[in-house]
Amino acid sequence: MEYMTFGRTGHTSSRVLFGAAAFWTVSQKEADQTLGLLLDNGINHIDTARSYGDAELRIGPWMKEYRSKFFLASKTNKRTKKEALEELKESLTRLQTDHLDLWQLHGLHERDEWEIAMGEGGVLEAALEAKEQGLVRFIGVTGHGVGAPRAHLNSLEVYDFNSVLFPYNYLMMQNPIYKADVEQLLAVCKERNVAVQTIKSLARGELGDKEKIYATWYDPLVNASVIEKAVHWVLSNEQVYLNSTGDIGILPDVLKAAQKKIVKPSDEEMEAMIKAEGMKPLFV
């Protein structure tokens, strides 16, 4: 497993972060089995959220013994200071810890919500207060959809966040407008040493009328060799981290791919993969 320093935090994080959305509805037994997989593969960074169903509850029991082994991140999708601080207390209780390493303003890409969050009495004030109180060490911002990179650029003009998170895969980067926004965001993050987290590396497209077999809300890539190409394409960008997919059944193949020497697939290989898998952009 490759590691690098997570922005200005000083923490050396595995380049694959455990995306705990995969714990939305799993049992504690399944979660504990996953813990062993994470430890065996050198994963030392967990990314969860209060809104991820039972995820925080499943991680909480680990913290009694393994708190020092993980950089622990959670998120709030509340937009006001009061609501966010109340939710933070819930997250800390559910996670059985007295602090988060990273607290992220979640899904902050819609302009009206962004203005509330960044304004007087907004969630940013909650994050700053929580940091002063030692409840959180660092503050990040996340977003979904094609507007996320542009929203993050706006957020970084307001506050010097420690991390950003947004969708990143080969297919989305074929959108020239999205690509331009991502490249601008990456340049700013590199200059200011902001950690860059990516999601949806394995998104084949919308679920649509397909039967829901996996825990992800989208249609995921599931073939091991295809997963390896997708994972290697993301990790070939040495600036970014990859948040693992939202299904514990697919997780082992993601980790196996990340353990191998990272070789960036050619554009021809990626185009062939897209055609063979029938992939469509998840966000347009």
Per-residue pLDDT tens digits for 62-102: 999 999 999 999 999 999 999 999 999 999 999 999 999 99
Q: Residue 202 has what pLDDT?
A: 97
**Residues 207 and 213: beta-carbon distance below 8 Å:** no
Q: Residue 235 has what pLDDT?
A: 98
Chain-centre distance for alpha carbon 233: 17
- Region 3-277: CATH code: 3.20.20.100
Q: Residue 1 has what pLDDT?
A: 94
3-class DSSP state for residue 121?
coil
Chain-centre distance for alpha carbon 159: 20
The angle formed by the CA atoms of residues 208, 213 and 218, to the nearest 5 degrees, is: 40
- Give pLDDT tens digits along the chain (284 positions): 999 999 999 999 999 999 999 999 999 999 999 999 999 999 999 999 999 999 999 999 999 999 999 999 999 999 999 999 999 999 999 999 999 999 999 999 999 999 999 999 999 999 999 999 999 999 999 999 999 999 999 999 999 999 999 999 999 999 999 999 999 999 999 999 999 999 999 999 999 999 999 999 999 999 999 999 999 999 999 999 999 999 999 999 999 999 999 999 999 999 999 999 999 999 98
Q: Residue 36 has what pLDDT?
A: 95
C-alpha to C-alpha distance for 231 and 210, rounded to whole angstroms: 24
Q: Find residue 142's DSSP bridge partners.
A: 165
Q: Residue 80 has what pLDDT?
A: 98
DSSP 120-176: TTBHHHHHHHHHHTTSEEEEEEE--STTHHHHHHHHHHHS--SEEEEE--TTGGGSH
List Cβ neighbours of 127 (8 Å cut-off, separation of 6 or more): 84, 103, 105, 136, 139
List Cβ neighbours of 157 (8 Å cut-off, separation of 6 or more): none
**Residues 46 and 20: beta-carbon distance below 8 Å:** yes
DSSP 84-103: HHHHHHHHHHHHT-S-EEEE
Tokens representing 236? Answer: 């070939």
C-alpha to C-alpha distance for 280 and 257, rounded to whole angstroms: 22
Per-residue pLDDT tens digits for 201-233: 999 999 999 999 999 999 999 999 999 999 999
